[in-house]
Copies of this chain bind each other. A is one copy, B any other.
Amino acid sequence: MAAEHIVTGYDQDLRRLENMITEMGGLAEAQLADAINALIKFDTEQATAIVENDKRIDALESEIDAFTINLIALRQPMADDLRVVITGLKIATNIERIGDYAKNIAKRTLTLASTPTIGGSINTIARMAGMVQNMIKDVLDAYVARDADKADAVRLRDLEVDQLYASLFRELLTYMMEDPRKIGRCTHLLFIAKNLERTGDHITSIAERIHFMVHGTMPLDERPKSDTSVYTMVGPES
């Protein structure tokens, strides 16, 4: 009876950790959706709220750290469970960063709201954000279901995000060269696109950690990586 009670409490703790992580992930996902909405509508009120809300995500990471340490000290989980717990701790770090990217997009929106619109690029950015949001949803599902195959599939989708970013990089630089008055605005859009590209990288990292959680090893294949923008040189200088 006593043993049963301990097992139940232990399972409840693991479930609680899982809930904290999915709550944190859900918040980051919502923040990102809001950030893109605020950008499209140049909604400074929403952007300001996003900057403020990020504190809740940061606080959740600290709560998860403290909870995990207590859980391990109290329950002394064995190797397999320990891998689940440690993975949760690492995933929280990735989610915290995704929250930071949403906040950064909101801050840049506050700046961009003071200048006219830019045409097509915001639509491409919104498309990129849509991809990334779906990836967050799916990777959180994979985490809860402990589904390594699903996580592996999410990981592969980052290729598309990278490709869209590389084409956006080229597009924005072309805009800048055509009209140097757009340089300030386009640079902020470039960093917003970069934030989304980095969000994709963090989702990839979460997916790899889920693979590790389930199988005890990292995915063996090199991650498909096609952010070719680092090698891009445009215009008269190239």
A residues sitting closer than 8 Å to B (CB atoms) are: 62, 65, 68-70, 72-73, 76-79, 82-83, 86, 89-90, 93, 104, 107-108, 110-111, 114-115, 173, 176-177, 180-185, 187-188, 190-191, 194, 212, 218, 230-238
Instruction: List B contacts of A185 (CB < 8 A).
Output: 233, 237
Instruction: List B contacts of A182 (CB < 8 A).
Output: 237
> Nearest CB to that of A74 among chain B residues?
B79
Partner of A114, one of B73, B110, B233: B233
Copies, count: 2
Partner of A173, one of B86, B173, B184, B235: B184
Minimal beta-carbon separation of A221 from chain B (angstroms): 14
- Interface SS majority for chain A: helix
CA distance A93 to B183 in the complex (A): 34
Q: A90-B93, A93-B93, A111-B232 are in contact. Are A183 and B194 (CB under 8 A)?
A: no
CA distance A232 to B177 in the complex (A): 20
Partner of A234, one of B83, B183, B238: B183
Q: A72-B72, A89-B89 are in contact. Are A180 and B176 (CB under 8 A)?
A: yes
Minimal beta-carbon separation of A17 from chain B (angstroms): 13
Instruction: List B contacts of A190 (CB < 8 A).
Output: 187
In contact, B90 and A68 (Cβ under 8 angstroms): no
Instruction: List B contacts of A107 (CB < 8 A).
Output: 230-231
Residue of A90, A114, A183, A238 ringed by the most chain B CB atoms within 10 A? A183
In contact, B237 and A181 (Cβ under 8 angstroms): yes
In contact, A232 and B173 (Cβ under 8 angstroms): no
Q: A110-B231, A111-B232 are in contact. Are A177 and B183 (CB under 8 A)?
A: yes
Minimal beta-carbon separation of A156 from chain B (angstroms): 19
